[in-house]
Amino acid sequence: MIKTISVAPMMDCTDKHEIYFLSLISKNVHLYTEMIVANAIIRGDKNKLLSFKKISNPVTLQIGGSNPEELAEACKISEDYGYKEINFNLGCPSKKVQKNKFGACLMQEPDLVAKCIESMSNSTKLPITIKTRIGYDDVEDFEFLKKFIQRTKDAGSKKFIVHARRAILKKLSPKENLNIPPLKYDFVYKLKECFNDDEIIINGGIKKIQDIKDHLAKVDGAMIGRAIYHSPYFLTDIEKEIFNNDNAPSRSEVMENLIPYIQEETSKGVQLNHIMRHTVGLFHGQNGSKTWKQYLSKNMCIRNVDLQKVNHIMDQVRLAPQAHSAD
């Protein structure tokens, strides 16, 4: 089975602009949209929500919901937009998501989850996958997780992405749920032993190349979230160390290659800050990174900024390569 490296779906982060930006850095990682609610797909502006510029990377749409009929309809609507698969969100712990009966709280209702996956699978030609946690609240038992995964598999899920923390739904904020519940990677490793013929992807707390290599020795893939969003050029290390690709672009080249996309999107009325906010961490750890972030904050990540600002910052990048070097 081919090992997979993917960027996690993150609310308010992995929109269509972030997906395109990351595709300029890595051609091999699997990219995921932020969660889009099934009801929004049915009743909202479908092209605005679902369309994205076609890239060579595989892209997965993540959907949230708990109504089997709505989820099925949303999947049917989405299948012709160019996604590789549709991922069902069973891992988000936010209170807003819980209120609407999405995400990790659905782990409490495996029968409903199974109905949702069955409806989704029967409505589309695209594979249905899940992203979940190892448990919820006081439920942190491997046998529970094993039975839950088996139930979703029987219902039609083709891949299983597991964040190796439980979701504490009642006491912690979404941010706290990313750090406070202890990581239990051994639960995910044991899942792979039990479901040896199925694709098991591990998620949670992965920050270094060695972390990825260690996980790939035991499961089928690794999904990285915040480490890439805050330092997107980390993807070039993944390209080199995991995919044996030494031809990654420099940071300056990434920005150069982003310009035509910016021109295309702003001509359609997209505000520049919606794109440029994703580039804040591009020079993370480099000389001049503070200047880059400050310039973006003051000039680019604000409403109604014009394209001349992009040309100006690119002039700064070109004139001072030592301050923004990829190396």
**b/e string for 262-283 if b means 16 or more Cβ within 10 A?**
beebbeeeeebbbbbbbbbbbb
Query: What letter represents residue 241's amino acid?
Result: E
Are 196 and 189 in contact by the 8 Å Cβ rule? The answer is no
The one catalytic residue among 13, 75, 92, 194: 92
Are 205 and 224 in contact by the 8 Å Cβ rule? The answer is no
Q: What are phi and psi of 55, to 5 degrees?
A: -135, 170
Q: Which helix (H) or strand (E) holds 86?
A: strand 85-90
Q: In terms of Cα–Cα distance, which of 231, 217, 315 is closest to 281? A: 231
For residue 55, CA distances in Å to 178, 240, 278 come to 30, 20, 17
* 8-state DSSP, 299: I
Confirm whether 105 is a catalytic residue: no
- Name beta bridge partners: 62: 87
Q: At what angle do helices 185-194 and 142-155 cross, to 10 degrees?
A: 50
Q: Output the CA angle 184-185-188, nearest 5 degrees.
A: 110
- Name beta bridge partners: 61: 86
**CA–CA separation, 270 vs 289, rounded Å?**
26
Q: What are phi and psi of 60, to 5 degrees?
A: -110, 140
| Cβ neighbour number for residue 324 with a 10 Å cutoff | 23
Q: What helix, strand, coil percent values describe the chain, rounded to 5?
A: 45, 15, 40
| Active-site residue set | 92
